[in-house]
């Protein structure tokens, strides 16, 4: 009850001050002071009681991203900030890829030196308000002025610096952190360093730590030889982050964090088993009391067929006929035969085996025996890239393989396709199946992780929003694809109903942000 009352107060305060509508312009600094003052005057109790969650991650859209992690960090905090009692902020590295236009909007806060083992490194702190969320950027050109985000021999040191810098910079935020929420191995040292070196320091007391696993496959494993010199952790503490004879940063974070979460309820169960945990099942079983599975949402403002500027034609649930115009434009653009009656099957994915590429390859000739077109967009393992180029050469009037990372084209494909294939061997959550639904494109998915939690099979077309198969093999996948093709071809009315259900399913963050908020409230007592 008390929270509801506070919520109302804060909402009213925001409405009167226009705080939520404040544009992020160069004059933000002055405007912000005014806004803050007014809010404080109107709702002093709420302002004092607000709790603060700092999202620590290596990616956040729209400023830096390579995939799902960046999508989530770039959208979840915005929904968290709709609440009256919790505010989320984000901290990421300042990468070279940040555009000049965005750089011009950064506000410099301070610079300090950060210990990286026995060295001290320069560290700048910048701030940027965007879409109702404060982003902090950590600057060090030696570590981050490079092309791309990852893949360097010293990635361990780069993210050790980043994690240490987050903790060292906290006193300069002018914003007390109540929950440190770290994501994936790149920020896994945050809870470890906090418990080893900061929790008893003045100003750092009683901070709760949460660690989210977006994909357990990437654990941050390094040679024990660099424990002291790179990570600055004494050999006395080796056991804290040792696993199977290696430094394993994710293992350290799971053990050291107060709570651990992952991105779907099913994956939270799966990672307690050897089949999915990439070795860490024992660690998760030991920590299962603090493990939660919360399904991701997607940024429904960006993935909105009515407004997205990348689409050939905008449409919504009431103008689905226009989806076919976009389909024909896509066929034209890619040089495929233009025919709105031929179903387009699409994949937008990293070309990695666990995404199901091997069973797709096994079934490809059988899929293409049907009257379909097949579009794949993505980059990844060279062998898979070569395969898709080859298959396009063989089936030139049916297949298009675009080996690149192209967001603009991705939107056109999500919208122009009819069937979206996502046969992952494992999938912590998966966002593409939700993005496809947003555009009225029907997912064919394997029943695993977040795919299982988000897509219900349509059976004979009267319920559900997709086609789901159980076991990881090409025959079951082919059967699901052919069920989809059959419904598309022979039962137009049922297909339209399916498309309507998919496009109207709520994949926004509203529901999941609510679960996160309750989680934070519980953590904070």
Tokens of 135: 């982003």
265 contributes a contact to ligand GLC by CB under 6 A: no
The nearest distance, CB 73 to ligand GLC, in angstroms, is 9
Which of 94, 114, 133, 263 touches ligand GLC (CB under 6 A)?
A: 263
Provide the β-strand partners of residue 376: 347, 401
68 contributes a contact to ligand GLC by CB under 6 A: yes
Which of 62, 67, 265, 514 touches ligand GLC (CB under 6 A)?
A: 67
357 contributes a contact to ligand GLC by CB under 6 A: no
The nearest distance, CB 79 to ligand GLC, in angstroms, is 14
State the Cα–Cα distance between residues 419 and 432, nearest whole angstrom.
12
Applying CB under 6 A, what is the total number of residues that bind ligand GLC?
14
The nearest distance, CB 276 to ligand GLC, in angstroms, is 12
448 contributes a contact to ligand GLC by CB under 6 A: no
**Residue 73 or residue 415: which is nearer to ligand GLC going by CB?**
73
Which of 19, 54, 60, 69 touches ligand GLC (CB under 6 A)?
A: 69
The nearest distance, CB 31 to ligand GLC, in angstroms, is 33
Helix, strand, coil abundance in the chain, percent, nearest 5: 45, 20, 35
User: What residues between 168 and 227 interact with ligand GLC by CB under 6 A?
Assistant: 214-215
Which of 43, 53, 64, 72 touches ligand GLC (CB under 6 A)?
A: 72
The nearest distance, CB 72 to ligand GLC, in angstroms, is 5
**Region for residue 384 given its phi and psi (left: phi exceeds 0; alpha: psi -120 to 50; beta: otherwise):** alpha
Which of 257, 296, 433, 454 touches ligand GLC (CB under 6 A)?
A: 296
Tokens of 373: 């077109």
Query: Smallest Cα–Cα separation from 368: which of 387, 391, 338, 384?
Result: 391
73 contributes a contact to ligand GLC by CB under 6 A: no
| Three-point CA angle 261, 267, 271, nearest 5° | 85
State the Cα–Cα distance between residues 165 and 109, nearest whole angstrom.
14
State the Cα–Cα distance between residues 330 and 317, nearest whole angstrom.
20
The nearest distance, CB 455 to ligand GLC, in angstroms, is 13
452 contributes a contact to ligand GLC by CB under 6 A: no
- DSSP code, position 463: S
431 contributes a contact to ligand GLC by CB under 6 A: yes
Which of 232, 305, 343, 428 touches ligand GLC (CB under 6 A)?
A: 428
State the Cα–Cα distance between residues 310 and 113, nearest whole angstrom.
43
- DSSP code, position 457: B
Q: Which residues contact 272 (CB under 8 A, 6 or more apart)?
A: 281, 284, 285, 288, 291
């Amino acid at each position: 009850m008390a929270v509801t009352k506070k919520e109302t107060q804060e909402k009213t305060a925001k409405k009167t001050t226009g705080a939520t509508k404040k544009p992020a312009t160069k004059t933000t600094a002055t405007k912000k002071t005014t806004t803050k003052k007014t809010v404080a005057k109107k709702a002093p109790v709420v302002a004092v009681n607000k709790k603060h969650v700092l999202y620590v991650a290596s990616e956040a859209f729209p400023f830096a991203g390579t995939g799902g992690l960046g999508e989530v960090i770039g959208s979840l905090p915005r929904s968290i900030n709709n609440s009256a009692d919790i505010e989320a902020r984000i901290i990421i590295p300042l990468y070279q890829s940040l555009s000049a236009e965005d750089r011009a909007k950064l506000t410099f806060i301070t610079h300090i030196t950060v210990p990286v083992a026995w060295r001290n490194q320069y560290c700048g702190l910048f701030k940027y308000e965007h879409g109702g969320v404060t982003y902090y950027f950590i600057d060090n050109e030696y570590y981050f002025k490079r092309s791309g985000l990852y893949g360097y021999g010293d990635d361990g040191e780069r993210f050790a610096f980043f994690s240490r810098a987050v903790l060292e910079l906290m006193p300069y935020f002018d914003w007390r952190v109540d929950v440190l929420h770290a994501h994936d191995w790149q920020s896994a040292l945050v809870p470890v360093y906090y418990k080893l070196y900061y929790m008893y320091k003045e100003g750092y007391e009683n901070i709760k730590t949460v660690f989210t696993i977006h994909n357990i496959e990437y654990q941050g494993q390094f040679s024990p030889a660099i424990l002291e010199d790179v990570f600055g952790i004494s050999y006395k503490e080796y056991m804290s982050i040792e696993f199977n004879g290696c430094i394993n940063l994710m293992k350290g974070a799971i053990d050291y964090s107060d709570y651990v979460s992952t991105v779907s309820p099913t994956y939270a169960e799966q990672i307690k088993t050897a089949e999915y945990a990439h070795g860490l099942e024992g660690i998760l079983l030991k920590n299962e009391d603090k493990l939660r599975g919360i399904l991701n949402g997607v940024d429904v403002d960006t993935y909105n067929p009515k407004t997205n500027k990348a689409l050939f034609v905008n449409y919504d649930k009431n103008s689905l006929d226009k989806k076919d115009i976009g389909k024909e434009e896509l066929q034209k653009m890619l040089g495929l035969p233009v025919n709105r009656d031929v179903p387009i099957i699409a994949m937008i994915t990293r070309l990695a085996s666990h995404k199901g590429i091997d069973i797709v390859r096994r079934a490809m000739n059988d899929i293409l025996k049907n009257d379909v077109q097949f579009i794949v967009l993505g980059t990844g393992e060279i062998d898979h890239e070569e395969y898709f180029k080859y298959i396009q050469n063989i089936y030139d009037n049916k297949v298009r393989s675009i080996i690149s990372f192209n967001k603009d084209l991705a939107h056109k494909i999500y919208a122009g396709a009819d069937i979206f294939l996502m046969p992952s061997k494992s999938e912590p959550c998966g966002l593409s199946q939700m993005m496809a639904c947003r555009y009225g494109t029907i997912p064919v998915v394997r029943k695993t992780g977040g795919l299982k939690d988000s897509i219900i099979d349509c059976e004979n077309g009267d319920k559900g929003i997709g086609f789901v198969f159980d076991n990881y093999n090409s025959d079951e996948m082919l059967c699901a694809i052919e069920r989809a093709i059959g419904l598309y071809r022979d039962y137009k009315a049922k297909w339209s109903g399916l498309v309507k259900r998919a496009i109207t399913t709520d994949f926004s963050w509203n529901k999941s942000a609510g679960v996160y908020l309750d989680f934070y409230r519980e953590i904070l007592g």
